[in-house]
């Protein structure tokens, strides 16, 4: 069992995750942007397009404009998630000493900072997920649009994040950064695996397994909205330039001088 989860499954996971996403993106690319369905007011340059898509993707501009509570919850959730994902990479990669690259910060301080940030974002992420779950079950319209899977995903993430938080908060079940780093490195380099004893920690085992299942399901789930955001925005937010106004052979001043339309004036002759 440990062998399966610790040494075989990771390769399957990465393969399915990658191929699944490529399959999904390929499907999207196969269909075309048939008609111009850009939303107006128009964006006038590619810089404006980049700013708009950036504001939507990273600041959730529309949620901010139309539903502040949802914006706060969603942004907090995604911001915390982003930090946690980044934290996993640098935390394990540099063993918590990543901040020591900043002049004036000692490796010890960096470790403490790393711990603190990880803890804080872990808790924030958990709270934000709870809020999103609350919306799904308590707000009528959100409840009405939810499928069972929408709620299940939130519960799944809550368990996943909850287990992660437990490892961080309770010293008895804490995992050593160094062991995890060496274990992952060995996996990546296709070397004989080390530190399989990590998986004796039932919390680590659960956390690790849940992450792998999540990655396998990712391409076949709503989590694809990560890519959908950019693909959809690329359709509705693009540069459009209006055709120039101006009517052929029209000279308003001359027409008014000639009194066109006035009963006493001359008849509307061509080109007047």
Partner 1 sequence: MPEYKGMVQPVRATPDEMRKIHIEPVPDEEKPQKALEYLDEIRKKFRSFVLAMESCTKCGQCAENCHTYLGTRDPNNIPTNRAELIRKIYRRYFTLEGRWFGKLVGAEDISLDIIEQWYSYFYQCSQCRRCAHVCPFGIDTCEVTFIGRQILHWLGITPKLHASVGAAMERVGNHTNLPKPGIVDTLEFMTEEIMDEFGVEVEFPVDKPESDIMYIPSSADFLLNPYTLMGAGMFFTYIGANWTIPSTVTEAGNFGLLFDQYYTQRHNVMRLLNAAQDLGVKKIVWGECGHGWRAAKMYIPSLADRPVRWPITHIHDEVADMIRKNELKLDPAKNSQPVTLHDPCNYVRACGLNENMRVIMRACVSDFREMEPHGMDNFCCGGGSGILFDDPEMYQRRIQLSQKKADQVRATGVGKNGDGILCAPCSICKAQLYPMVEEHELGVEVKGLIDLVGKALVWK
Q: Name residues whose C-beta falls within 8 Å of residue 260's C-beta, 6 or more positions apart in sequence.
A: 266, 268, 272
Q: Per CB under 8 A, which of residues 32..51 are in contact with partner 1?
A: 32-42
Q: Per CB under 8 A, which of residues 1..20 are in contact with partner 1?
A: none
Phi, psi of 15 (to 5 degrees): -65, -50
Shortest approach of partner 1 to residue 235 CB, angstroms? 5
Residue (55 or 188) nearer to partner 1, CB: 55
Q: Which stretch binds partner 1 (CB under 8 A): 29-37, 91-99, 157-165, 178-186?
A: 29-37
The pattern of x and - marking residues 209 through 248 that bind partner 1 according to CB under 8 A reads: --------x--xxx-xx-xxx-xxx-xxx--x-xxxxxxx
Instruction: Tell the burial category of 5 from Cβ atoms under 10 Å away from its Cβ (0-12, 13-18, 19+).
Output: middle
Shortest approach of partner 1 to residue 223 CB, angstroms? 9
208 touches 164 (CB < 8 A)? no
Shortest approach of partner 1 to residue 120 CB, angstroms? 25
**Residue choice 103, 104, 192, 263 for contact with partner 1 (CB under 8 A):** 263
Q: Which stretch binds partner 1 (CB under 8 A): 8-16, 61-69, 108-116, 201-209?
A: 61-69
Residue at token pair 């027409």: 255
**Residue choice 14, 19, 24, 113 for contact with partner 1 (CB under 8 A):** 24
Q: Name residues whose C-beta falls within 8 Å of residue 75's C-beta, 6 or more positions apart in sequence.
A: 59, 60, 63
Q: Return d(Cα 44, Cα 70) in angstroms, integer.
A: 30
Shortest approach of partner 1 to residue 263 CB, angstroms? 6
Q: Return d(Cα 195, Cα 180) in angstroms, integer.
A: 8
**Residue choice 27, 103, 189, 190 for contact with partner 1 (CB under 8 A):** 27
Q: Name residues whose C-beta falls within 8 Å of residue 46's C-beta, 6 or more positions apart in sequence.
A: 239
Residue (35 or 171) nearer to partner 1, CB: 35
- Would you count residue 67 as binding partner 1 (CB under 8 A)? yes
Q: Per CB under 8 A, which of residues 108..167 are in contact with partner 1?
A: 135, 139, 141-142, 144-150, 152
* Cα dist from 173 to 119, 153, 177, whole Å: 15, 25, 13
Name the nearest CA neighbour of 163 among 197, 205, 200, 193. Answer: 205
Residue (206 or 221) nearer to partner 1, CB: 221
């Amino acid at each position: 069992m440990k062998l399966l989860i610790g040494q075989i499954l990771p390769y399957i996971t990465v393969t399915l995750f990658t191929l699944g996403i490529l399959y999904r993106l390929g499907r999207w690319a196969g269909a075309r942007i048939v008609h111009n369905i850009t939303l107006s007011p128009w964006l006038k340059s590619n810089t404006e397009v980049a700013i708009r898509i950036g504001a939507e993707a990273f600041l959730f501009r529309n949620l901010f404009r139309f539903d502040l509570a949802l914006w706060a919850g969603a942004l907090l959730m995604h911001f915390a998630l982003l930090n946690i994902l980044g934290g996993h990479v640098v935390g394990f990669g540099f063993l918590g000493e990543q901040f020591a690259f900043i002049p004036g910060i000692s490796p010890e301080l960096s470790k403490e900072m790393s711990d603190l940030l990880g803890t804080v974002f872990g808790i924030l992420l958990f709270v934000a997920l709870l809020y999103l779950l609350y919306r799904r079950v308590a707000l009528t319209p959100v409840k009405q649009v939810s499928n069972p899977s929408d709620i299940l995903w939130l519960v799944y993430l809550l368990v996943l994040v909850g287990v992660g938080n437990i490892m961080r908060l309770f010293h008895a079940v804490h995992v050593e950064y160094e062991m995890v780093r060496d274990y992952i490195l060995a996996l990546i380099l296709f070397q004989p695996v080390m530190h399989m004893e990590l998986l004796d920690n039932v919390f680590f085992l659960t956390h690790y397994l849940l992450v792998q299942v999540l990655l396998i399901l990712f391409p076949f789930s709503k989590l694809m909205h990560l890519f959908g955001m950019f693909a959809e925005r690329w359709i509705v937010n693009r540069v459009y330039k209006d055709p120039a106004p101006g009517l052929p052979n029209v000279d308003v001043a001359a027409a008014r001088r000639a009194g066109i339309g006035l009963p006493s004036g001359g008849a509307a002759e061509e080109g007047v």
